[in-house]
Amino acid sequence: PVPILAVVGRPNVGKSTLVNRIIGRREAVVEDIPGVTRDRVSYDANWSGRAFTVVDTGGWDPDARGLAASIAAQAEIAVRLADAVLFVVDATVGITDHDEAVVRILRASGKPVVLAANKVDDQRTEAETYGLWNLGLGEPFPVSALHGRGSGDMLDAVLAAL
């Protein structure tokens, strides 16, 4: 069976944009406003000759209990089904309470995690990523899902984790 990579993180960090970057096609729906329901979340991907399935998360309806519960529930489902997790944060915003909640779920899961610091569109923004070492999830990979910057190094780390 093909290994499964789940892409998790709070809304608007750029998960779907990063999924499109990984699969090399624009199939995952990118939203300026989060919370739209979509049925298709799994995509075939390939990097360096290795096939894997990438699962976009966060596209389901917000939980009736609210955003925080919804993020946590989706992260728990994703972690359960995945062989490895690509945890996406927005380097231009930094770590929020919602990010911290996801980190606790990832730690508890014991699954391998690759940390993507997204929206690093230029060299200047890269400095924002050094503080992410404090999350205790290993090396933060600065990427720009929008422009492709840094995605090769990130994907090499993903393959090592799968």
By the criterion CB under 5 A, which residues form the site for Mg ion? Answer: 15-16, 58
Q: How distant, in Å, are the alpha carbons of 58, 71, 105, 106, 129 from that of 34?
A: 8, 12, 21, 22, 24
- Applying the rule CB under 6 A, the residues between 4 and 43 that interact with ligand GDP are 9, 11-17, 30-32, 34
Q: DSSP letters along 28-83, please? A: SPP-SS-----S--EEEEEETTEEEEEEE-S-SPPPTT-HHHHHHHHHHHHHHH-S
- Regarding 118 and contact with ligand GDP (CB under 6 A), the answer is yes
The owner of tokens 């199939």 is 27
Nearest-approach distance from CB 51 to Mg ion, in angstroms: 23
Are the beta carbons of 115 and 89 closer than 8 angstroms? yes
Nearest-approach distance from CB 99 to ligand GDP, in angstroms: 12
Nearest to Mg ion of 59, 150 (CB atom): 59
- Regarding 98 and contact with ligand GDP (CB under 6 A), the answer is no
Nearest to ligand GDP of 80, 147 (CB atom): 147
Q: Which residues bind ligand GDP (CB under 6 A)?
A: 9, 11-17, 30-32, 34, 58, 118-119, 121, 144-146
